[in-house]
Structure 1
């Protein structure tokens, strides 16, 4: 279960998109880490409201490798890549990258 409801995330995103408040101001207003808001907004811009519904997902090594390859080829940040592929936690990509660099993720 997510700490923040879909409705709460949508309210935060709508506030951010409809005002001139930046991530920090919005974060202060809603008492949320600005990194969360950034992640929610990026994902929302690509996937709409479906990005707000998260469930536990299992990814194959082939998928993980293709995501890392896409990130490198398009010179995207971890946050941008997570948003593009609708991966709930950008930290997940960091773990995949570390595994890959250590030879633990099948290529």
Structure 2
């Protein structure tokens, strides 16, 4: 359900078409952002109707949109108009996800995390009372954590070394 009714949007678009009043003037008259009015005008010109907001897009659809945009050298607003995406920033967010996380990032589920706590691997009793299975599960978890921590520390060290090298090279090239 959109914030503005279909009749209201149509009234503004028709007024623009008939009187050639700009979106900024219509913004002052109706109290709707001119960018929103421009989007309605473009949607109506292209489709003869207004696009309703969509909340969920599949990973395949996101990838299709980004590929189409790249192939046809389109801006985010142009691409959003063609694919009926009401928020132009959505495409920019998909692109950022794709650049940082690859194709897999586009297929990740969105939403809030569950408030239910996951079952802890650490038993809620003194360590002396742990069974062998409980102790083994804890030690595996601790080992995995330490491996991930060590990998992050090493990655951070590599970045710092690279930054130092880059600084040294830039200083040498300046001299």
CA contact (8 A) 1:12 1:26 kept: yes
TM alignment of 1:10-49, pairs within 5 A: 10-49=10-49
Map of 2:106 onto structure 1: 105
Q: CA deviation at 1:37?
A: 0.8
- 1:1-107 maps to which residues of 2 (within 5 A)? 1-49=1-49, 51-52=50-51, 54=52, 56-103=54-101, 104-105=105-106
Post-superposition Cα deviations, 1:45-77, rounded to whole Å, max 9, x if no partner, equal 11112x24x154422111111111111222222
TM-score normalized by the length of structure 2: 0.54
Distance of 1:83 and 1:9 partners within structure 2: 16
- Does structure 1 conserve the Cα–Cα contact (< 8 Å) formed by 2:98 and 2:106? yes
Secondary structure of the residue that 1:4 maps to in structure 2? coil
CA RMSD of aligned residues (A): 1.7
**How many positions carry a matched residue from both structures?**
104
**Runs of at least 5 residues in structure 1 that lack an aligned partner in the other structure:** none
| Structure of greater Rg | 2
User: Unmatched 5+ residue regions in structure 2?
Assistant: 108-175
Q: TM-score, normalised by structure 1?
A: 0.84
Distance 1:27 1:100 in 2: 35
Moved over 4 A (4+): none
